[in-house]
């Protein structure tokens, strides 16, 4: 008796469209959704006709690169490119909602703006930490915002500026393993070279970071609620800093432990609208040995839409 079976290779392009739509709606991470749409034109069509486009989390942190403006093909302006930190490759998604717009972040549930009296005019970062909003100004002074006082919401200074800092050093507030961290980013180089406006080139670059932990301080006669303590290691965690987010994640196959991942957020260069904007100062800082390596060899430059973390 002949027990051999003859199996033909399945033609996945012949799957009914309604089944493809059900599969597309069941995907749980953006990587799978992107791979699904790249299988063939039929599968891509299934993602295009979804009644509600999925807002999926990513399996690994990505960088959404700056918008590319292609004057030869205006249709490409709806495309955005994402850098995969695991493979160092980029992939393309159509995001017409982001075309010509500056993308920012917000907390879920935000519905209203609240005016708060603050002791400074320039703030580098804001963080929602343990039910309260904290902010750090350009000098490094940390304040906490009392928004429960409907009549007079105000910010109170809770930590002094670090002893070795200045206004040009970028400051971030980050929560990591339950701790509140004040991170300073030190840049080197000169901002521009040459006298001809048409030949200006960005020459700033990150050379170092410092990390301080805010610890509650109740000693009698002290004027601040927190003191600053130096942090030498993040252990098995990594920080992600940039224009839209400051956060901490555990190490993994694509996230190096005890490192700081950063994008170019030199807002001064973006705001003044220099040709091309910023976008070159992107990399990974190893806290253990103080070295910096690039995580994107190309340029991601736009004064309107700088590179952002997608986490």
Give the pLDDT mean for 276-300.
81
For helices 41-48 and 17-26, angle between their N-to-C axes, nearest 10 degrees: 70
pLDDT band at residue 195 under the 50/70/90 scheme:
very low
Run of H or E residues at 21: helix 17-26
Q: 100 and 77 in contact (C-beta within 8 Å)?
A: yes
DSSP string of 114-174, one letter each residue: ---B-S-S-EEEEEEETTEEEEEETTS-EEEEE-S-SSS-EEEEEEPPPSS--TTSEEEEE
Where along the chain do its domains lie?
A: 12-98, 123-310
For strands 259-262 and 79-84, give the pairing.
unpaired
Segment 155-171, tens digit of pLDDT: 889 998 888 888 778 89
- Please name the residues in contact with 74: beta carbons below 8 A apart, sequence gap of 6 or more: none
Chain-wide mean pLDDT for the chain? 77
Higher pLDDT among residues 263 and 80, named by residue: 263
Give 82: exposed, middle or buried? Use CB within 10 Å, 0-12, 13-18, 19+. buried
- Please name the residues in contact with 4: beta carbons below 8 A apart, sequence gap of 6 or more: none
Assign 2 to helix, strand or coil: coil
**Alpha carbon distance 6, 107 (integer Å):** 57
Q: Which residue stretches of the chain are H helix?
A: 17-26, 30-37, 41-48, 267-271
Residue 298 has pLDDT above 50, yes or no: yes
**Alpha carbon distance 103, 112 (integer Å):** 18
Residue 140 has pLDDT above 80, yes or no: yes
Q: 231 and 212 in contact (C-beta within 8 Å)?
A: yes
Give 286: exposed, middle or buried? Use CB within 10 Å, 0-12, 13-18, 19+. middle
**Alpha carbon distance 159, 225 (integer Å):** 7
Q: 209 and 184 in contact (C-beta within 8 Å)?
A: yes
What is residue 222's predicted lDDT score, i.e. its pLDDT?
Answer: 78
Whole-structure pTM value:
0.73
Run of H or E residues at 62: strand 62-64
First to last CA, the chain: 58
Segment 91-102, tens digit of pLDDT: 777 777 777 776
Q: 140 and 228 in contact (C-beta within 8 Å)?
A: no
């Amino acid at each position: 008796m002949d027990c051999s079976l003859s199996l033909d290779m399945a033609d996945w392009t012949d799957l009914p469209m309604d089944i493809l739509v059900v599969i597309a709606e069941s995907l749980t991470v953006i990587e799978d959704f992107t791979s699904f749409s790249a299988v063939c034109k039929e599968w891509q069509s299934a993602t295009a006709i979804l009644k509600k486009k999925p807002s999926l989390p990513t399996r690994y942190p990505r960088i959404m690169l700056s918008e590319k403006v292609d004057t030869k093909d205006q249709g490409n302006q709806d495309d955005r490119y994402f850098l995969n930190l695991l493979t160092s490759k980029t992939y393309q998604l159509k995001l017409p909602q982001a075309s010509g717009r500056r993308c920012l972040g917000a907390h879920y549930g935000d519905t209203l703006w609240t005016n708060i009296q603050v002791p400074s005019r320039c703030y580098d970062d804001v963080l929602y930490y343990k039910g309260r909003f904290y902010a750090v100004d350009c000098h490094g002074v940390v304040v906490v915002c009392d928004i429960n006082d409907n009549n007079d919401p105000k910010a109170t200074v809770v930590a002094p500026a670090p002893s070795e800092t200045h206004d040009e050093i970028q400051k971030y507030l980050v929560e990591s393993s339950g701790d509140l961290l004040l991170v300073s980013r030190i840049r080197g180089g000169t901002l521009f070279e040459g006298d001809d406006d048409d030949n200006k080139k960005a020459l700033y670059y990150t050379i170092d970071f410092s990390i301080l932990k805010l610890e509650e301080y109740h000693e009698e006669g002290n004027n601040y609620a927190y003191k600053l303590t130096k942090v030498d290691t993040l252990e098995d965690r990594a920080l992600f800093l940039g224009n839209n987010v400051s956060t901490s994640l555990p190490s993994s196959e694509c996230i190096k432990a005890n490192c700081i991942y950063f994008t170019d957020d030199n807002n001064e260069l973006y705001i003044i609208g220099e040709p091309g904007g910023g976008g070159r100062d992107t990399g990974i800082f190893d806290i253990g040995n103080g070295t910096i390596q690039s995580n994107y060899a190309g340029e991601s430059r736009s004064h309107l839409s700088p590179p952002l973390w997608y986490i």
